[in-house]
Amino acid sequence: MFSILKTMWYTFLHMFSRRFTVQYPDERPRIAPRWRGRIILSRDPDGQERCVACHLCSVACPVDCIALQAAEDETGRRYPEFFRINFSRCIFCGFCEEACPTYAIQLTNDFEMGEYHRHNLVYEKEHLLISGTGKYPGYNFYRVAGLAIGGKGKGQAENESPPVDVKDLMP
Amino acid sequence: MSETARGLITVFVVLFVLMSVAAGLIWLERRLLALWQDRYGPNRVGPFGVLQVLADMIKVLSKEDWVPPFADKGVFIIAPTIIMMTTLLSFAIVPFAPGMRVVDLNIGVLFFLAMVALTAYSVALSGWASNSKYSLLGGLRALAQMISYEVFMGLSMMGVVMLAGSFDLSKIVEAQRKIWFVIPQFLGFISFFIASIAEAHRLPFDLPESESELVAGFHVEYSGMKFGMFFVGEYIAITLVSALMTTMFLGGWLGPVLPPLAWFIIKTFALICVFILLRAALPRPRYDQLTELAWKVMLPVTLLNLMATGGILLAWR
Amino acid sequence: MATIYIDNKPYQANEKQNLLHACLSLGFNIPYFCWHPAMNSVGACRQCAVKEFKDENDKRGKIVMSCMTAVRDGLRISIDDPEVKEFRARVIEWLMTNHPHDCPVCDEGGECHLQDMTVMTGHVYRRFRFRKRTYVNQDLGPFVNHEMNRCIQCYRCVRFYNEYADGRDFGVFACHNHVYFGRHKDGVLESKFSGNLVEVCPTGVFTDKTLKRHYTRKWDLQTAPSICPHCGMGCNTIPGERYGTLRRIRTRYSGQVNGYFICDRGRYGYEFVNSPERIKDPLRRVSGEGAGPGKYAPFEKGTALGAIKDVLNVSRGVMGIGSPRASLEANFALKKLVGAENFFLGIPDADYRILSLVLDIYTKGSARTPTLDEVESSDAILILGEDVSSTAPRLALAIRQAVKRKSFEAAGGMTIPYWDDKAVRIAAGGRRNPLFILSCSHTGLDDMAKERYFAAPDDLARLAFAFASRIDTGAPGPEGMSPDFKDLTARICGALESSKNPLIVCGAGAKNEGLVQGAANLAWALRKQGKSAFLSFVLPGANELGLGIIGGRPVADALKAIGEQKADTVIALENDLYRSLDKKNADTLLSAKFSITLDQISNETTKKSWAVLPAASFAESEGTYVNFEGRAQRFYKVFVQGGGTEESWKWLRDIMLEAGRPEASNWDTLDGILRDMANEIPVLAPITGIAPPETFRIAGMKVPRQPHRYSGRTAMHADKSLLEPKPPEDRDSALSFSMEGYAGVPPPALIQRFWAPGWNSVQALNKFQSEVGGPLRGGDPGKRLFEPGPGASPAYFAQVPPGFQPRKDEWLLLPVYHIFGSEELSMHAPGIASLAPDPYIALSEQDRLQLGKQEGEYMEVGIGETSYSLPVKPVRELPEGIALMPSGLPGLSGIGFPVWIKKPGKGARR
C-alpha cells in the first residue's frame, strides 16, 4: 500500500524533470556515422558499379528482401542485371553490408523514407545506385581479384605475376 | 421561464459540458501522462495540441461503420450505447452547486448505483456479441470485476448516507458543512475510490481491455464511432465518479471565497488528475489478485467500516 | 571386414578399400581433393593426411595420406591429432597461395569443395606475401567455362577426361608450379562428357557455361529429383530453377543407373524448357475472319475443355497418338480417353516392330537386362549395329569402364589394391576386356574396340544368328555363310565363351528386326551355356519402353482409319508427327477434321493442328519414365511454369472429366492414376512403390524443394506486387514448393539436392550413400519391371533373315545418329544446336568416286516425294549399296528409315 503511494509520488515528481523527446523534425537528431539507414549501391573509384552480383547480401538477409540476377558484360565483368530491395520488408540490420565482399552495398545515414504507397518502397537498381564510393573510398574489387575484365587482363591485378607461358619449361 | 424550460436547458447544458469535458479529458490525459513520463504528448494540432481531440473526433466519425460479419449485429450495435446512456443518466443526480442539478431525487445514491450496475451489461454484451475470443474473455472479466466491485461500492457509500441521514446528494453536501466526510469516512472514501476505478475499468484495473494480453478486450472488434462511444463512456465515467466523490466525501460545492460551482469543479478536476496519475504510475494486477482484493480485503473492510459507523452513531445519539 | 581404431575407438571397415574411403563411409570428415570414388586414389593433393600409430603404446605416430593407405585389421589412426590437423591446414594454405580469391565472381562459390575444405581445415588467413601465378584461359566451347587461375592442381580433370572418359584433346601442360590443365589450343572439348568436369573439378576452374548466362547460386535454386528426357538411359538428374526459368542440370547420383556422371546432351539440353518457342497458352486455329495458315488465337482453359468436349461428342471416331517422350501417365490417360482400339503408338513402323520385339524378348527372355552398374562389370561385349555413343551416351561410358576393367583383374593378381589408380594402370599394361563392334559405319566406341566389322544390318543379323548357332547348336543358323566369316565367328564366339558376364548390346538404331532377334538368340545361347549373359537394347525415346508397355496399335492403322473415314479426330500427345512419320502420312493424319495436339514447343504438328494445348515439360511435371533396362523411375516438378501450361495427363484427365467420363474420377492426384495404371497393366504393378506417395511425411513435414538458405523470397515478386503470393501447392508428391519442411536426408526417390552441414559442394553426396561410391541410403530409386524367370528357356527366333542384296541403281538409306542433333528437344538448347552437324549424306568411297563428287559437294537426293540437296560425306568403311543420313536433324526429319533411294546418274551435277 505504501509502495503504491510512493510510486505515485515519484511519478508525480517526474512533472518537474526534463523531457526526453526530441522534437523531430523541428530539431534534427544526431545521427551516428555508423547509423544503419537507407541502403545504397556504390561505385568503385573508376566510376563502375561495385556490385558483382555474388548473391551474398541476398543470402545474408534475414528477411529475404534482396533479390537480384547476375549478368556479365562482354568483357567478363559481372554486374547485377536487376537488383531489388523491398524496403517495406527491410529491417536495416546491416547484414548485407557485412556480407558484401566488394563494399558495394552500404547502409547510409538517411532514414527519412516514408511513402504513401507501399510499392514505392521497392527500390530497383536505378534507385539504389549512387555515383560515388560511399563510405569506403579507394577500394576496387577487380584490382584485387584474379578475373580478367575489360581493361585488365590476366596477371595485371595487384600482386599478380604475368601469365605463365605454358610452353616454357624453364624452372 | 417555466420549470420545464429551465429543466431542459439544464439538461442540454450538462450534456454539452459533459461531452466537452470528456473530449478535453482525452487530451488532458495524454498530456498529463506524457508529462509524468517525461514526454510531450500531443503538441502538434492547435495550441498545446488541444485540437488533437478534434482531429481524432473527425477521424473517428468519418471511419467506416463496420460490423464484423461474424458478430451478433443487433446486440453489437446496442452495447456501446448502453454505457453512454447509463453514465450520462447518472449525471442527472449530481448537484454541481446549490440548485444547479438536473433532477432533485431523494434517492440519488441508489439511482447512481442502479445506473452503474447497468453498465455491466454494456461490456458483457459487447464482449459476447463480438463473437471473438479476446472480446469474450474481456467481457467475462469485465462482468466478474464489475459485480465483485459493485458489492462493496454500494456498501462504502452507506457510511456517508448514515452520517448524512439521507440518500439525497444535496442533503449529503449540506451535511458536510461542519466536516468533510472524507475524515470520518476515510475507509469508506478509500474503498469507494478503489471500487470506482474498477467500475470505470481504468488502470490499474483495466483487465477487461488489457492491451497486452487481450489486445483490447471487450471492444477489440469495435471501430469508428461505436468504439468512440466506449471511449467517451470511459471518460464520462471518470468524471462521474470524481464528481460523486467530491459530492459525498469532499464537501461538494462547499468552500470559502470562490463561488460554489468553482469549488466543485476544482475538487472534481483534482480527483480526475489523481485518476490519471494512477494510470501513469501503477502496473496492472493479475486477474486473481483483482478478485481477491475485492472479496477478501475490500468487502470485509467496508463491512467493518459500516459496522463501526453504525455503532458509533448509535452510541453517540 | 577389419577393425580399425580411429582416435582409439574401434570401427568396422572394408579392408579392400583405402583408409580415406573407409573413413568417409564411416561418416568422418577428412578433407580431400584428388580422390574421387569413381576414379580412386593418386595421392596428388596431400590433403587427406591422418596419423598412423604402430600400436596403442605408440605416441609419436607418423603422418600418412589416408587415400594411399590400405585398411587393415588393427590399424590405429588419428584424425584429430593436433599435428596432423596443423599439417592439413598448412597444406591447404599452400594450395591457396596462388588462388585468385575471386569467390564473389566465381560460379563455384557456394558449392565449392575448396571452400568447404578450407573451412574444414580451419585455414583462414593468407600469409603468403609474394606475387600470384596467373594463367590465360581457353575457350572450351559452349558448355564449359575455363578459369585456370583457380586451379589447385588436383589432377581430377585430366583423370576424368582422359582416363575415365577416354578423351584425347585435353591434358596437362608445362611443369613445376606452372602446371596447366586444358587443350593444346582453344576449341570445343571433343568428349561428350566434358560437362562432368564441372562437377569433378573441386573448385571453379571448370564451370557450367550455360549457367553463367543466367547465373544463380546453388542456395537459390529450387530443385527436385528428375529424369533426363533426352534418351532412353533414364539418367537421374537434378534440374534447378530460379525466377521461373530452368537454370541448370546436375547429376543425381544413382548407384545402379548413372553413377556420378551424365552426358552433355543430358546436362545441357535443358535449355529447351526456356525456349521462346514454348507454348504457354491453349491455342485454337482462327477460323472465319483473319484465318490463315499458322494463325492461332489463345483461349481460356475452360473454353478449351468445353470446345474439345463438343468435338468429342460430335466426332465419328477419336484416335490418340501416344509418344515415347511423354510419361507413362500421359500415354495411359490418352489410351483411356480414346479407348484401347483407338490408341496408336506414335513411332515409325520400323521402330514399332522393334519395340514389340524388344518387349517380347524382355518378357519371356532368359538374359537379364543389365543396369549401367552391371554393364561396367561385364567382361566381353558385343555391340550389334548400334552407335551407342550417340544414341545412349551414358551406356557408352559404362562400356568404356567395362573394357578397362580388365586392369583391376590384372592388378589383383599382383596384390595391388584396386584403388591405387596409377599402379593399377601400370600393372595392367593396356590389357583390356574384348569389345566387338559390328556396325555399318564407324561409331564413337571404335577406339575401345578389339575388333570392328562393317556390314549391312541384314548381314550383321545373319552373323548374330551364326554366332548363336555356334555357341548353342540348337539355335538356328544361317545357311551358306561365306567361309570368310569363319575366323571372325571363331574370335568373337571364343571371347564370349571365355567370359563370365558377356554383354550383347543392340538397339533400334539400325532399324532392323533380324538384328534384334539375332542379338536375343545370341544372349539366350550364352545363357544356355551357363554364362550370366546380359542383353541390352538401346531405345531412343525417354519412355519408349513405357510406351510399348502401355501398348497400342501401329500408326499405319490410324492412317487406314482416316482413309476409310472411320475417324475424324486425332489427339497427338507430345509428338511431332512430322518427325515420327513421313510428311505424307503426317499430312494425312492432320487432315482429320479436328486435330488436337498437346506439346511443349511449337513444331510442324502444332502449327497445323486445330487446337494446341500447352503441355508441361519434364521439369514442370510429375510422372514416370521406363528406361532402356525396364526400370520405372519417377520424376518431379521442379517448378510451375504458370500460364496455361499443365501436365499432359492432367489435360487429358480434365477433358475426360468435362466429357463426364467416369474412368478419370479417381485421378485427382498422381497417386490415383498410378493406382489405376498398376491395377490395369500387370507389368506396371510395381510403379506405385517406386517413390513415396503424396501422403508421405517425415515428422509431419513434406520435403522442401528450396534450400533452407533460399534468398529473395520477399523481394522477387515485389516489382509486380507487394502481396507475396502463396507458393504453389503440390498435391501430387511429397515435395513442397517451399523452404520449410524436413531438412535431413529424404528417401532416395525424393533427393532434391546433395547438401550436408559443412559440405556445400556436390561431394556432400558422401553423406547420402550407405557406403561412399555405393548405393544411396535406402536403396537406389526406381524399380525394374522385367526380371528373367529362373527357369526361363525361350524358344529361339527361327527365322534367319536373308543376306543384304545391294541394288544396282538404288541405295538403302539408313540413319546415322549424332549425340547433338538427333534428339528433338535438346536441339532447342542453343549450345547443343551450335554443335549439331549440318545435314549431309554419307556415301561409301566407292560410290562417291563413281558419282564423281568431291567431299562436301552438293547432291540431289529424292526420298519419297521430297527432294533434298545435301553435301556428300565420304565414309570409307560403308558397305556397298548403303547410304547414311543423319537422323532427326532439323530439315531432315520425317524420313521413314530404312528406305531405298535412287542413285543419281553418273556425274549429275547441280
Question: What is the number of structural domains in chain B?
Answer: 1
Q: Name beta bridge partners: C875.
A: C844
- Which position has the grid cell 459533459? B18
Higher pLDDT: C220 or B156? It is: C220
> Cβ contacts (< 8 Å) between B36 and chain A: which residues?
11-12, 14-15
- Which cell numbers in the block locate residue C701? 513435414
Centroid of chain to Cα A41: 6
Q: pLDDT tens digits, residue range C653-696?
A: 999 999 888 888 899 999 999 999 999 999 999 999 999 999 99
Q: Which of C55, C48, C85 is nearest to C69 (CA)?
A: C48
CA distance B293 to chain A (A): 12
Which chain B residue has the Cα nearest residue A18? Answer: B38
Q: pLDDT tens digits, residue range C533-576?
A: 999 999 989 999 999 999 899 999 999 888 888 888 999 999 99
> Cβ contacts (< 8 Å) between A119 and chain C: which residues?
718, 721-722
Distance of alpha carbon C392 from alpha carbon C897, whole angstroms: 19
- Assigned domain for B8 exists: no
The pLDDT value recorded for residue A102 is: 92
Count of C-beta atoms within a 10 Å radius of residue C467 = 30
Q: How confident is the model at residue C850 (pLDDT cuts 50, 70, 90)?
A: confident
The reply to whether the predicted model has a pTM over 0.90 is no
Provide CB contacts within 8 A for C765, sequence distance 6+: C253, C260, C754
Could you give phi then psi for residue A85, rounded to 5 degrees?
A: -120, 125
CB contact under 8 A, A167 and C178: no
Ranges C110-119, C400-409, C787-796, most confident = C110-119
Higher pLDDT: B99 or A21? It is: A21
Does C587 have pLDDT greater than 50? Answer: yes
Could you give phi then psi for residue B102, rounded to 5 degrees?
A: -80, -55
Does A68 have pLDDT greater than 80? Answer: yes
- Which position has the grid cell 464482449? B127
Distance of alpha carbon C906 from alpha carbon A16, whole angstroms: 118
Distance of alpha carbon C449 from alpha carbon C432, whole angstroms: 9
Angle, vertex CA A116, rays to CA A112 and CA A120, nearest 5: 75
Distance of alpha carbon C437 from alpha carbon C447, whole angstroms: 11
Could you give phi then psi for residue C180, rounded to 5 degrees?
A: -130, 135
Provide CB contacts within 8 A for B198, sequence distance 6+: B145, B146, B148, B149, B205, B290, B294
- Assigned domain for B11 exists: no
Q: In what order do the strands lie in the sheet with C858-863?
A: C858-863, C866-875, C841-844, C882-886, C810-816, C899-902
Distance of alpha carbon C880 from alpha carbon B169, whole angstroms: 130
- Which cell numbers in the block locate residue C344? 496408336
CA distance C715 to chain A (A): 5
Distance of alpha carbon A53 from alpha carbon A71, whole angstroms: 8
> Cβ contacts (< 8 Å) between A16 and chain B: which residues?
none
Percent of chain A with pLDDT strictly greater than 90:
54
Strand pairing of C435-439 and C318-321?
unpaired
The pLDDT value recorded for residue C104 is: 92
Q: Name beta bridge partners: C815.
A: C885
- Assigned domain for B60 exists: no
Which chain A residue has the Cα nearest residue C149? Answer: A146
- Which cell numbers in the block locate residue C357? 520385339
State chain A's mean pLDDT as an integer.
90
As for the ipTM of the complex, it is: 0.88
CA distance C262 to chain A (A): 27
Side chain identity at residue C882, one-letter code: I
The pLDDT value recorded for residue C296 is: 83
Q: pLDDT tens digits, residue range B129-156?
A: 888 888 888 888 888 888 888 888 888 8
Q: Domain coordinates of chain C in residue numbers? A: 2-95, 352-545, 810-902
**pLDDT average, residue stretch C286-313:** 82
Q: How confident is the model at residue B27 (pLDDT cuts 50, 70, 90)?
A: confident
Could you give phi then psi for residue C438, rounded to 5 degrees?
A: -110, 115
- Which cell numbers in the block locate residue C553? 496399335
Q: How confident is the model at residue C896 (pLDDT cuts 50, 70, 90)?
A: confident
CB contact under 8 A, B36 and A7: no
3-state secondary structure of C365: coil
Q: How far is CA C484 from CA C463, C487, C738, in A?
A: 11, 7, 66
- Assigned domain for B277 exists: yes
> Cβ contacts (< 8 Å) between A162 and chain C: which residues?
134
**pLDDT average, residue stretch B103-115:** 83
C-alpha torsion sign, points C204, C209, C212, C218: negative
Domain ranges, residue B273: 66-316
3-state secondary structure of C856: coil
The pLDDT value recorded for residue C227 is: 95
CATH assignment, C810-902: 2.40.40.20
- Which position has the grid cell 575457350? C139
- Kindly report which listed range (A47-51, B175-179, C435-439, C515-519) carries the lowest average pLDDT score: B175-179
Percent of chain B with pLDDT strictly greater than 70:
99
Chains C and B touch (3+ CB pairs under 8 A): no
CATH assignment, C2-95: 3.10.20.740
3-state secondary structure of C527: helix
- CATH topology for the A29-144 domain: Alpha-Beta Plaits (3.30.70)
List strand residue ranges (DSSP E) for C806-906, in order.
810-816, 841-844, 858-863, 866-875, 882-886, 899-902
Distance of alpha carbon B200 from alpha carbon B109, whole angstroms: 17
Does C620 have pLDDT greater than 90? Answer: yes
Q: Domain coordinates of chain A in residue numbers? A: 29-144
Which chain A residue has the Cα nearest residue B32? Answer: A15
Q: Which of C214, C230, C261 is nearest to C618 (CA)?
A: C230
Q: Is B109 left (phi over 0), alpha (psi -120 to 50) or beta?
A: alpha
DSSP state of B219: G
Q: pLDDT tens digits, residue range C516-528?
A: 999 999 999 999 8
- Which position has the grid cell 501447392? C729
Distance of alpha carbon A72 from alpha carbon A85, whole angstroms: 21
> Cβ contacts (< 8 Å) between C243 and chain A: which residues?
69
Q: pLDDT tens digits, residue range B213-236?
A: 777 777 778 878 888 888 888 888
Q: How confident is the model at residue C905 (pLDDT cuts 50, 70, 90)?
A: low
- Which position has the grid cell 537394347? C537
> Cβ contacts (< 8 Å) between A21 and chain B: which residues?
38-40
The CA radius of gyration of chain C, in Å to the nearest whole number, is: 28
Contact B215, B136 (CB under 8 A): no
3-state secondary structure of C476: coil
The pLDDT value recorded for residue A167 is: 85
Q: Residue A139, class by beta-carbon neighbours within 10 Å (0-12 exposed, 13-18 middle, 19+ buried)?
A: middle
**In this complex, is the C-beta atom of C132 within 8 Å of any C-beta atom belonging to chain A?**
yes
> Cβ contacts (< 8 Å) between C216 and chain A: which residues?
55, 69-70
- Kindly report which listed range (A105-114, C697-706, C886-895) carries the lowest average pLDDT score: C886-895
Side chain identity at residue B230, one-letter code: F
Distance of alpha carbon C585 from alpha carbon C555, whole angstroms: 9
Greatest CA span in chain B, whole angstroms? 64
Contact C296, C283 (CB under 8 A): yes
Could you give phi then psi for residue C882, rounded to 5 degrees?
A: -125, 140
Q: Which CATH superfamily is domain C352-545 in?
A: Dimethylsulfoxide Reductase, domain 2 (3.40.228.10)
The pLDDT value recorded for residue A55 is: 94
Q: Residue C477, class by beta-carbon neighbours within 10 Å (0-12 exposed, 13-18 middle, 19+ buried)?
A: middle
The CA radius of gyration of chain B, in Å to the nearest whole number, is: 20
CB contact under 8 A, C110 and A55: yes
The pLDDT value recorded for residue C3 is: 93
CA distance B278 to chain A (A): 7
Chains A and B touch (3+ CB pairs under 8 A): yes
For residue B36, give the nearest of A15, A20, A21 by CB distance: A15
Which chain B residue has the Cα nearest residue A23? Answer: B40
Identify residues of A whose CB sits under 8 angstroms from chain B CBs: 4, 7-8, 10-12, 14-15, 17-21, 23
Provide CB contacts within 8 A for A133, sequence distance 6+: A42, A43, A44, A45, A50, A103, A139
Side chain identity at residue C236, one-letter code: N
Best residue in A44, A49, A74, A86 for a mutation probing chain C (most C CBs within 10 Å): A86
- Which position has the grid cell 526380371? C787
Provide CB contacts within 8 A for C830, sequence distance 6+: C142, C271
Could you give phi then psi for residue C26, rounded to 5 degrees?
A: -75, -5
> Cβ contacts (< 8 Å) between A52 and chain C: which residues?
104-105
For residue A160, give the nearest of C132, C219, C710 by CB distance: C132
CB contact under 8 A, A21 and B277: no
- Which cell numbers in the block locate residue A107? 547502409
Centroid of chain to Cα C886: 20
State chain C's mean pLDDT as an integer.
90
